[in-house]
């Protein structure tokens, strides 16, 4: 190859591009059908504005200087830019706001892992609608988008970002101990989690809760099971999930959701419900999202908010894999 392009970037040729375009438009049409208006923001933003939203600038990896020496960062997702947009362009307008987007975002890759530096995201942000109603609306749009995108077997993992932090705080665990436990949980290293928890100065019943809870996942029955295991310690977080579960059943989409009490996402701004999107044909996550009730306040407006992003290229891979499986008549 004489004229290389950066690792983690791709040229897209007509056959693939046609399918990607088709997928992108059905996703946008679905979002718009639910009343979400498409917006676009600059690919690069002032770094200190992104940092306003999240200390790590949502994990932005690429920075450059403009001609005045200001530090610019390539966006790593659309959530912070849209929070900024809502806070500045819609100041004085009564929420809720419903926005959708189809945009590239940029993240660092680890060498030789086939990861993409530049990837296409399609998603929505619902700003100014509280849990549980707002969460359920976002999940409804998400499942509709997965159906429209030809992935009826896809499922949404649903957890609560605040559960373990609250649990550890309630048990009086020191911040240093909490941090190690949360890190093991984020890696889903249950062996390390068990080892760390064994060293915590809490009652043995509570130690069992900390180990058993993150292994709970499945249908709405895990919500009852979590209360049996965790009792009073988990009641607040569990009742948040329970309220969402009830409304999902009412709307007939409860079977698209896997309740997952071990779900932890590594982005700093999530507060309540968090999502991950899976398709059985693909070993990688195809999307994610959640509630970020504190983010808009960082831009001067204390609005609750919730959203998701789907990785369009990965959805396309999942579509192709689903087609292959169908052709082969199952794996």
Per rule CB under 8 A, count of chain residues that contact other proteins: 25
First to last CA, the chain: 36
Asked if 134 contacts 243 with a C-beta cutoff of 8 angstroms, the reply is no
- Which of the ranges 77-85, 134-142, 182-190, 245-253 carries the binding residues for other proteins, by CB under 8 A? 182-190
Closest CA to 226 of 159, 274, 169, 178: 159
Closest distance of CB 176 from other proteins, Å: 17
The candidate with the shortest Cα–Cα distance to 99, out of 34, 147, 42, is 34
Selected from 104, 217, 225, 265, the binder of other proteins by CB under 8 A is 217
Nearest CB to other proteins, comparing residues 100 and 318: 318
> With respect to other proteins, which residue has the nearer C-beta, 190 or 320?
190
Q: What angle do CA 293, 295, 297 make, to 5 degrees?
A: 90
Pick 56 or 155: Cβ nearer other proteins: 155
Instruction: Give the interface segment with other proteins, choosing from 6-14, 163-171, 213-221, 227-235 (CB under 8 A).
Output: 213-221
Q: How many Å apart are CA 233 and CA 206, to the nearest integer?
A: 9
**32 to 61, contacts with other proteins by CB under 8 A?**
none
* Among 36, 269, 278, 308, interactor with other proteins by CB under 8 A: 278
Residue identified by tokens 């929070």 is 83
The correct pick among 21, 33, 169, 188 for binding other proteins (CB under 8 A) is 188
Q: Binding to other proteins by residue 157, rule CB under 8 A? A: yes
Confirm or reject binding of residue 189 to other proteins (CB under 8 A): yes
Check: CB of residue 314 under 8 Å from CB of residue 122: no
What is the CA 23 to chain-centroid distance, rounded? Answer: 20
89 CB-contact burial (10 Å; exposed 0-12 / middle 13-18 / buried 19+): exposed
Assess contact for 100 and 123: CB atoms under 8 A: yes
Binding mask 292-331 for other proteins (x = CB under 8 A): --------------------------------------xx
| Separation in Å, CA 118 to CA 38, 101, 123 | 20, 16, 16
- 260 contacts other proteins (rule: CB under 8 A): yes
Q: Is 191 in the site for other proteins (CB under 8 A)?
A: yes
Which residue in 56, 104, 155, 225 binds other proteins (CB under 8 A)? 155
Tokens of 328: 């082969």
Gyration radius from the chain CA atoms: 21
Q: Rule CB under 8 A: is residue 276 a binding residue for other proteins? A: yes
CA dihedral 56, 58, 61, 66 (to 10 degrees): -90
* Integer Cα distance of 274 and 254 in angstroms: 16
Give the CA distances from residue 245 to residues 12, 30, 93, 165, 171, in Å, rounded to whole numbers and listed in that order: 40, 23, 31, 22, 26
Among 192, 236, 246, 320, binds other proteins (CB under 8 A): 192
The DSSP 8-state label assigned to residue 156 in this structure reads E
**What is the pattern of x (binds other proteins, CB under 8 A) and - over residues 87-126?**
-----------------------x--x-------------
Shortest distance in whole angstroms from residue 157 CB to other proteins? 5
Q: How far is the CB of 285 from other proteins (least distance, A)?
A: 7
Q: Is 140 in the site for other proteins (CB under 8 A)?
A: no
275 is a contact residue toward other proteins (CB under 8 A)? no
Residues that bind other proteins (CB under 8 A): 110, 113, 155, 157, 187-192, 215, 217-218, 258, 260, 276, 278-280, 282-285, 330-331
């Amino acid at each position: 190859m004489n004229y290389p392009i950066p690792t983690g970037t791709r040229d897209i040729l007509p056959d693939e591009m046609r399918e990607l375009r088709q997928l992108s438009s059905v996703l946008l049409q679905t979002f718009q059908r639910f009343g979400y208006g498409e917006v676009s923001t600059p690919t690069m933003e002032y770094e200190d504005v992104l940092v306003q939203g999240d200390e790590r600038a949502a994990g932005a990896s690429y920075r450059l200087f403009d001609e005045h020496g200001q530090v610019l960062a390539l966006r790593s997702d659309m959530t912070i830019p849209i929070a900024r947009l809502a806070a500045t362009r819609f100041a004085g307008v009564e929420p809720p706001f419903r926005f959708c987007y189809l945009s590239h975002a940029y993240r660092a890759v680890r060498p030789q892992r086939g990861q993409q530096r530049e990837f296409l995201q399609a998603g929505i942000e619902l700003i100014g609608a509280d849990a549980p109603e707002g969460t359920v609306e976002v999940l409804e749009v998400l499942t509709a988008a997965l159906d429209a995108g030809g992935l009826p077997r896809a499922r949404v993992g649903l957890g609560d970002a605040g559960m373990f932090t609250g649990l550890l705080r309630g048990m009086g665990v020191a911040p240093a101990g909490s941090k190690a436990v949360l890190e093991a949980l984020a890696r889903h290293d249950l062996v390390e989690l068990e080892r760390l928890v064994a060293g915590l100065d809490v009652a043995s019943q509570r130690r069992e809760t900390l180990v058993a809870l993150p292994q709970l996942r499945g249908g709405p029955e895990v919500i009852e099971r979590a209360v049996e295991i965790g009792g009073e310690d988990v009641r607040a977080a569990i009742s948040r999930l329970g309220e969402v579960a009830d409304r999902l059943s009412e709307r007939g989409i409860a079977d698209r959701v896997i309740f997952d009490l071990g779900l932890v996402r590594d982005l700093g701004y999530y507060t309540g419900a968090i999502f991950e999107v899976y398709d059985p044909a693909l070993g990688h996550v195809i999307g994610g999202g959640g509630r970020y009730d504190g983010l808009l306040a960082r831009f001067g407006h204390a609005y609750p908010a919730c959203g998701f992003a789907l990785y369009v290229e990965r959805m396309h891979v999942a579509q192709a894999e689903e087609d292959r499986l169908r052709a082969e008549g199952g794996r």
